[in-house]
Structure formats: C-alpha cells, structure tokens
C-alpha cells in the first residue's frame, strides 16, 4: 500500500516544549511551518490579537497548531498544483470556491463520467448552547462568563450545554467570539450528507451542486466538501491476452455551503502532570524583579529558547502563607532561586509559584546536619555580595533553647496598647552609643534589693516641680520655688573646708 499525505504531516514527528510570547496565531503557525519548509497561506478575514503567553508543552508541532486553530475557530484545507501543494487557513464561509467538478449528477453516467453513485443524508442530535467561564485576578469577584445559543434549525437536546471553565486566561474578553465558534462547531454536523462518487477532483473546501437528482429539491442546492477519502488500485490479469484495469473509489462528507467548517472543539490543552521547578529570572539591574502584584518570571528547565532574563516567561503569581487586603505574609523569590511551580487546571499557560527550594548553589541558612535543631527566618540585604541580613531564629536543642533576633540596621517595635514582658531570671542590655527613653505620664521602678548607678562623667536630674529622696525618717526635698529641706535625726557635714554664703544665716 502507498499512502500519500501532505507535507505538514512531517510536523507531527517533532514533539516540543516551547514558549511563544507576544505573537498571534498567524505568527506562531508561520514560524513553525517555516521551520518545516511547508508552503502556507492565510486567507482569514478577521485579525487576531497577540497572545501574551502561549505554551506548546509535550505535544507535536501539528497537534499544537491544530489546538490553536480549534481555540480560534480557524479551519484549513489544501490547494494543489502540478508541482506543489499549499495549506490554506480560513475563518469564514466566504472562502469557499467552486470545484473543478462543480455540477455533478446523481446515479447517472458511466465510470468515465463524473457522478455521485451513492447519497445519504443524516440528522443527529446536537448541543443547544455553549458557556465559557474564567477568573480575572484583577477583579476576583467578577466571574467573567458568556453563553452562546445555537441557531441550528435541526433538533437540539432541550437541556444541553457545553460548559468550559478556562480559569485565568487572557481570553476572558473574547468569550463571545470563542463561544460563537464553539457552538458552530458543535452544530455543523447536525445535518450532514455523505456519499460515494467518481469525481476525482473533489477537494475539501470546494463547492459542488447537483445538476441532476432523482429528488428535484436537491437540484441546485450547494454543498461544501468537509472530508474526502480516496483509494486507487491497478488490477492486473497475467497470462496470454492478460489485461489490466484501474480501480478508483472516493467517499466524502459535505454540509451546506453556508456552514463554516469550524474545527472540532474536543481538542484539549495538554496537561502538566504534577509539580515542576524553575529558576527565578529578571533583568540585569538587581536580584528582585517583580510587578506591582508581586508576580515574578522564571526559566523552566525544559525551555531551550529561554535566556534566563526578563523575557523567560509571563508574569507568574506567587502563593504565600496568607494573603489579605493589605495584610498577610510575603517573601519575594529572588533571581537565581529555585521555585516550585504548579499549574491551574494543569494548564501550561497558567503557572503559579507555590514555594521555593534549596539546592547546590542556594544553600540552607544553617549548616546541616550539624545545626538541624535550628529553624527560623533569615533574609539577606539586596545586593550581590556580602553577609548582611535580618534574622529570627529558634534553637530547639535541649538545654540550649533560645530565640535569636538580629536586625541588620534598625529595629522598630510599635505597641498600640500595652506591653507585658516577664523575665524569670536575668536581663542584660548593652547600648553602644545613646539611650533615649520618653514616658508620657508616669514611670515606676521597683527594685527588690539593690540598685546601683555608675555614670562615667556627669549625672543630671531635672524635675519640673519637686525632687524628694527618702530613706527611713531622713529625707531631702527640693522644690521649684528654690527651697531645699533636709531632715534627719542627725545631719553630718564633713569636708576639709565648708563655705556658707547667704543674705541671712540662722543657727539654733
């Protein structure tokens, strides 16, 4: 047997993982087909927006092309010359042209005259409507959704629907058009004709009509060929006087010429099985590269075209332990880190970062296994070199349990109400430079036994109203009026010299 297939079939022999950014469907398909040296032509009527991010993942080039065509509702067929064939892409029924055998007869003619020998018409149940829904990260409660009702004149199941949840995709604003294409695809086979013929020039996408038919209502009605299958054979008879004959069989399917041959909707996106890891990327200016939503970019290990830069992927959301409206926890993955990537609905177009990993170049903050009893949070100052960091560390070694807090520069603590600190043993504080304390109302200090104050140079005590020092029955009182009262059972003043100077001195 000899099978003849178009050159685009070669593209089914290359399976690839590849990222396309800021390209529309025409640009992507043109790039791939050019790599396979396939002649093509776009005869589409509408313009197509650029995909911000589109992934070919573990699928052949042909499967990827057909998936894109299915998503956009674009069909294709072939035009032929004696020396070449061209694949033509189209998106409207206006593309159809009359075939070489435009007028055909039914059940008449000989094997040498083109005719349709068998004709069948079928009607099938069809879906009534389609619905597409998604999620908009910028408007999380908006629930973008669109429904499209079919216009088939044939019977559709009353309670029937083709529902597809697309999650967070860039097609949310294009639901109406994609729904229109989807329902057209589902309903185009509601009324379908098939048959067998000897018309050797019948080609998919070409028109024909009956010149003669036993059912006169079929005469003049125009059809477009949706599929054609041909087989040819040479039958040899050997021996004296042997002859040879040729056998040709052709079967086809067709629909009304006003029907756009939309591709089937059952072509599903490839599914990413399980988690993957990737390396955080950015530009050359620093090690933190993100947008206002905290999204980052990564280089996937399977991406052979990526340059480990700001164009390696789309902006990818990062999961955190808690995320609220202006509150929550947040740690930004930095350039060079290895992160864990999951995919919404398994869709390679919708990655999401769920965590990060240590590896051979990104080592743990505490030496393992020697410091396995230590855990905590340790950051690093934003710079390429150096050991500047902030840290909250927990030591769980028996007998040495402690909490360690390190601030690389400033430490700020704000308590909007009360603070209660209980220390069961000792407390030591060391301030290298200055200590400033400000109390709005009262400050009470209670010492159970002794307190000592050692000042290297000067001690200054200033009170706005009065100062009183009491020990038992003795006291020294000073007031803002300038009076100083010293009381005690016995007052001793000792010195090598005593000088008293006043306007009046009274001695009792």
For the chain, the domains span: 7-91, 100-235+245-256, 271-366
As assigned by CATH, the class of the 7-91 domain is alpha beta
Percent residues over pLDDT 70 in the chain? 95
Classify domain 271-366 by CATH architecture: Beta Barrel (2.40)
Long-range contacts of 362-369 (CB under 8 A, 24+ apart): 362/336, 362/337, 362/338, 365/391, 366/393
CA distance 145 to 132: 6
| pLDDT tens figures, 157-168 | 888 999 988 887
pLDDT tops 60 at residue 109? no
Instruction: Return phi, psi of residue 178, to 5°.
Output: -65, -35
pLDDT surpasses 70 at 331: yes
Please determine, for residue 508, whether its predicted confidence score (pLDDT) is greater than 80: no
Q: Which among 466, 343, 444 is positioned nearest to 58, based on CA atoms?
A: 343
Q: What are phi and psi of 117, to 5 degrees?
A: -95, -20
Considering the chain, what percentage of its residues have pLDDT values greater than 90? 66
pLDDT tens profile 4-60: 889 999 999 999 999 999 999 999 999 999 999 999 999 999 999 899 999 999 999
- Angstrom distance (rounded) from CA 281 to CA 296: 8
pLDDT at 284 over 60: yes
Predicted local distance difference test score (pLDDT) of residue 15: 97
> What does the mean pLDDT of the chain come to?
90
Q: What is the pTM of this model?
A: 0.85
pLDDT of residue 383: 78
Is residue 145 over pLDDT 60?
yes
* 296: pLDDT strictly greater than 60: yes
**What are the helix (H) ranges across 4-83?**
25-35, 61-72
**Quick one: which of 129, 221, 109 has its CA closest to 182?**
129
Average pLDDT over residues 481-503: 90
pLDDT value for 267: 82
Identify the pLDDT of residue 218: 85
Among 84-93, 226-235, 439-448, the range scoring the smallest mean pLDDT is 226-235
Per-residue confidence band for 231, with pLDDT thresholds at 50, 70 and 90 = confident
pLDDT in tens, 352-365: 999 999 999 999 99
């Amino acid at each position: 047997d000899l099978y003849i297939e178009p050159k685009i079939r070669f593209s089914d022999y290359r399976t690839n993982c590849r990222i396309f950014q800021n390209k529309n469907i025409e640009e992507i398909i043109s790039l791939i087909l050019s790599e396979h040296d396939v002649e093509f032509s776009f005869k589409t009527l509408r313009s197509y927006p650029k995909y911000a991010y589109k992934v070919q993942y573990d699928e052949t080039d042909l499967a990827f092309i057909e998936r894109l065509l299915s998503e956009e509702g674009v069909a294709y067929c072939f035009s032929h010359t004696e020396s070449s064939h061209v694949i033509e892409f189209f998106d409207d029924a206006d593309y159809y042209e009359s075939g070489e055998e435009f007028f055909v007869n039914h059940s008449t003619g000989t094997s040498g005259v083109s005719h349709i020998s068998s004709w069948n018409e079928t009607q099938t149940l069809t879906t009534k409507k389609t619905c597409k829904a998604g999620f908009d990260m910028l408007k999380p409660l908006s629930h973008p959704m669109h429904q499209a009702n079919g216009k088939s004149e044939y019977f559709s199941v009353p309670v029937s629907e083709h529902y597809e949840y697309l999650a967070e995709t860039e097609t949310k604003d294009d639901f109406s058009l994609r729904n229109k294409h989807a329902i057209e695809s589902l309903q185009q086979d509601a009324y379908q004709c098939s048959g067998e013929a000897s018309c050797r020039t019948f080609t998919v996408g070409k028109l024909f009509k009956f010149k003669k038919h036993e059912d006169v209502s079929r005469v003049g009605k125009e059809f477009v060929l949706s599929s054609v299958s041909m087989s040819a054979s040479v039958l040899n008879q050997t021996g004296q006087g042997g002859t040879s004959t040729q056998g040709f069989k052709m079967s086809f399917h067709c629909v009304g010429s006003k029907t756009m041959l939309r591709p089937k909707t059952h072509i599903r996106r490839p599914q990413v099985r399980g988690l993957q890891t990737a390396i955080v990327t950015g530009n050359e200016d620093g090690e933190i590269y993100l947008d206002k939503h905290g999204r980052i970019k990564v280089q996937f290990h399977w991406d052979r075209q990526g340059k480990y830069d700001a164009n390696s992927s789309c902006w990818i959301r990062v999961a955190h332990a808690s995320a609220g409206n202006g509150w929550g926890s947040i740690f930004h993955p930095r350039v060079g880190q290895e992160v864990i990537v999951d995919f919404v609905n398994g869709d390679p177009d919708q990655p999401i970062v769920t965590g990060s990993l240590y590896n051979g170049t990104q080592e743990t903050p505490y030496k393992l296994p020697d410091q396995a009893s230590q855990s905590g949070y340790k950051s690093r100052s934003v710079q390429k070199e150096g050991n500047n960091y902030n840290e909250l560390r927990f030591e769980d070694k028996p007998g040495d349990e402690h909490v360690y807090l390190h601030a690389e520069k400033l430490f700020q603590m704000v308590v909007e109400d009360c603070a209660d600190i209980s220390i069961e043993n000792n407390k030591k504080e060391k301030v290298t430079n200055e200590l400033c304390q400000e109390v709005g109302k009262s400050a009470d200090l209670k010492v159970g036994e002794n307190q000592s104050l050692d000042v290297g140079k000067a001690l200054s005590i200033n009170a706005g109203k009065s100062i009183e020092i009491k020990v038992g029955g003795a006291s020294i009182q000073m007031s803002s009026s300038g009076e100083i009262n010293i009381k005690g059972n016995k007052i001793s003043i000792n010195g090598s010299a005593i000088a008293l100077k006043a306007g009046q001195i009274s001695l009792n």
